[in-house]
Structure 1
Amino acid sequence: MRLLISLILPWLTFFTIGRPIAGLICLLLQLTLIGWIPATIWAVYALGQYKTDKKIAKALQQRAS
């Protein structure tokens, strides 16, 4: 679902992953027609990083237990 959001409304992705300042910057970038594509790429990249960070944290928790 977040991937679909990042393609349609890239700035909203940052709010769902807890990065509101990046979301505002992305919104400003998205307001220009030329900036839409970089904003979408940035949102998809950030979403991938967010998922990777969650997997690493989960693995470290399992290792510590």
Structure 2
Amino acid sequence: MVIETLERIGSLTAHGIGIVMVEQNIREAMPMADKLYILAAGERRFEGKPQDVRDDRQIMDIYMGGA
């Protein structure tokens, strides 16, 4: 079901339709995102483009309070 949903989102965005997606699996969401917000403990901890995130370690630091 997740794969089908992501495929449909990809199809919609390819047609110029904007999507707001809330997803816990950041690895699945990042390839199709134009802008990324990471929330932790109810606070915005990161805002930027997916390519601004260097690696998984940076993501974990954000979630765990290191960034």
TM-score by length of 1: 0.29
Q: Which has the higher contact order (CA 8 A, sep 6+)?
A: 1
Q: Counting helix residues as a fraction of each chain, which structure ranks higher? A: 1
Larger radius of gyration, structure 1 or 2? 1
Q: Counting strand residues as a fraction of each chain, which structure ranks higher? A: 2
TM-score by length of 2: 0.29
